[in-house]
Amino acid sequence: MRVYLDNAATTPMDAEVMKVMCNVMENHFGNPSSIHAHGREARALIEKSRKIIASLLHTSPAEIFFTSSGTEADNMAIRCGMVDNNITHAITTRLEHHAVIHTFEAMEKAGTVKVSYLDVDDKGNIDFDQLENILQNNERSFVSLMHANNEIGILTDIVRVGDLCEQYNAVFHCDTVQTMGHYPHDLSKLKMHFLTCAAHKFHGPKGVGFLYINHKIKIKPLIYGGAQERNMRGGTENLYGIAGLAKAIEMAYADMEQHHVYIQGLKSYMIGQLQANIPGVLFNGEIDQDKSLYTVLNVSFPETDIADMLLFNLDIAGISASGGSACSSGTDIGSHVLTAIGASSTRPSVRFSFSKYNTKEEIDFVVGKLKELFTVKA
């Protein structure tokens, strides 16, 4: 038996998504920038996909721009959003994805940006009083905060963040890579300037995502070359990827509530089974349903002599998951997220992440294998 519990890294593609993509690959091979019939057919597919996404997010198709990934979208939002609007101060946290943190680090090293990092508590919650204080004491800031953390699943109140950014004339970028397709996002109500997405996190294809750019903010391209994406991103569009993205998000929204209830049930069941079978087990981040991403569970196991080999042992046992531990020194290659929340560097941590394809039987199998490992080797 093999069990896949690494859906926060990537999800398996839906069969219906593959059908759509195969049809496009077989029958719509024209370059969308060409003016002949084949090109016009391809262009029509892209614009249809854009309209589907915009409709689900309650925004205008003119505010959706396709990219190669969430990483590219994050880079485009941050670099172009700051440089093209003459913003030199950024606010973020040490919990963000490396696509955000490393971009800010590179810009700060170049001397173009000053970055303020918000404090977080041991669950990963940000300090909203500190955020407001920093916003008050800077002329204009660029705020980059993810909706849900990809390692520990902590949810950020992005409505509250948006209200503060509006109050202090700040630009708000939100990385929604982990929540897009899992939670509804109404961009007619959310007060944000940029939002990023990657299709492969909700059973779509890898290599395609999108960036929402609010019409109130203007930026120049990150990638130059052609007039694609209304002169905003050079490069021939990933036509079948875009069609797959649109189908995947359409399917995700159609069954979102049902999948939320089902997957939350799996997560809650695994929490209970781990607590019942492995003494000393802890959880990184929040496990409260209202504060935690329902697809992610980060588990901190008791100290053991197999800590460095835990993921390897799980893989040998037929279980795919990810994780590690907090950094114990500046040279360690550990989790920057676990380090930021003050997690123990001696306890091994594993991120289990779920999808609609997982079952309780799989959870029982995983917990059984973990019980064997910690009974024999601990």
The least confident of 121-125, 154-158, 187-191, 324-328 is 324-328
Per residue in 348-371, pLDDT (tens digit) is: 999 999 999 999 999 999 999 999
Structure tokens at 373: 């490992």
Domain count, the chain: 2
Residue 377 has pLDDT above 70, yes or no: no
The pTM score is 0.95
Same domain (yes/no): 39, 168:
yes
Last residue of a domain, one of 254, 283, 300: 254
* pLDDT at 303 (0 to 100): 87
Q: In the chain, what is the straight-line distance between the N-terminal and C-terminal CA atoms, in Å?
A: 24
Q: Which two tokens stand for residue 88?
A: 């030199």
pLDDT, average across residues 229-235: 96
User: Are residues 318 and 1 in contact, defined by beta-carbon separation less than 8 angstroms?
Assistant: yes
| CA dist 262 → 9, 202, 215, 357 (Å) | 20, 15, 37, 10
Examine the domain organization and report whether 291 and 149 are in the same domain. no
Q: What is the DSSP string of 113-168?
A: -EEEEPPB-TT--B-HHHHHHHHHTSSSEEEE--SB-TTT-BB--HHHHHHHHHHT
Give every CB contact of residue 252 below 8 A, 6+ residues apart in sequence: 181, 182, 202, 203, 259
Q: What is the CATH number of the domain that holds 114?
A: 3.40.640.10
204, 239, 254 - which closes a domain:
254
Q: What's the gap between Cα 134 and its chain centre?
A: 25
Provide the pLDDT for residue 325.
62
The position carrying tokens 């130059």 is 224
Instruction: Specify the pLDDT at position 376.
Output: 55
Tell me the per-residue pLDDT of 30-74, one tens digit each, with 9 for 90 and over: 999 999 999 999 999 999 999 999 999 999 999 999 999 999 999
What are the catalytic residues? 327
The reported pLDDT for the residue numbered 256 is 98
* pLDDT recorded at residue 210: 98
Q: How confident is the model at residue 135 (pLDDT cuts 50, 70, 90)?
A: very high
Q: What is the CATH number of the domain that holds 364?
A: 3.90.1150.10
Rounded CA separation 72/78 (Å): 10
Domain span including residue 313: 3-11+255-377
Do residues 132 and 260 share a domain?
A: no
Same domain, 223 and 328: no
CA distances from 214 to 61, 77, 143, 180 (A): 11, 11, 15, 17
Split at pLDDT 50, 70, 90, the class of 328 is very low
Q: What pLDDT band is residue 344 in, cutting at 50, 70 and 90?
A: confident
Both 243 and 286 in one domain: the answer is no
Task: Yes or no: say if 144 and 175 are a contact pair by the CB < 8 Å rule.
Answer: yes
Residues 239 and 264 in one domain: no
Distances (CA, A) of 91 to 11, 46, 103, 132: 31, 34, 13, 11
Indicate whether 248 and 265 sit together in one domain: no
Question: 298 and 283 in contact (C-beta within 8 Å)?
Answer: yes
- Give the pLDDT of residue 274: 98
17-36 pLDDT, tens per residue?
A: 999 999 999 999 999 999 99
Residue 26 confidence (pLDDT): 95
**Mean pLDDT score of the chain, rounded to an integer?**
95
DSSP 185-220: --TTTS--SEEEEEGGGGT--SS-EEEEE-TTS---
- Percent above pLDDT 90 for the chain: 92
Considering 213, 237, 254, which residue would you say is the last residue of a domain? Answer: 254
Residues 42, 131 within the same domain? yes
21 with 151, same domain? yes
Residues 27 and 147 in one domain: yes
Q: Based on the domain organization, do 244 and 351 belong to the same domain? A: no
Residues 92 and 224 in one domain: yes
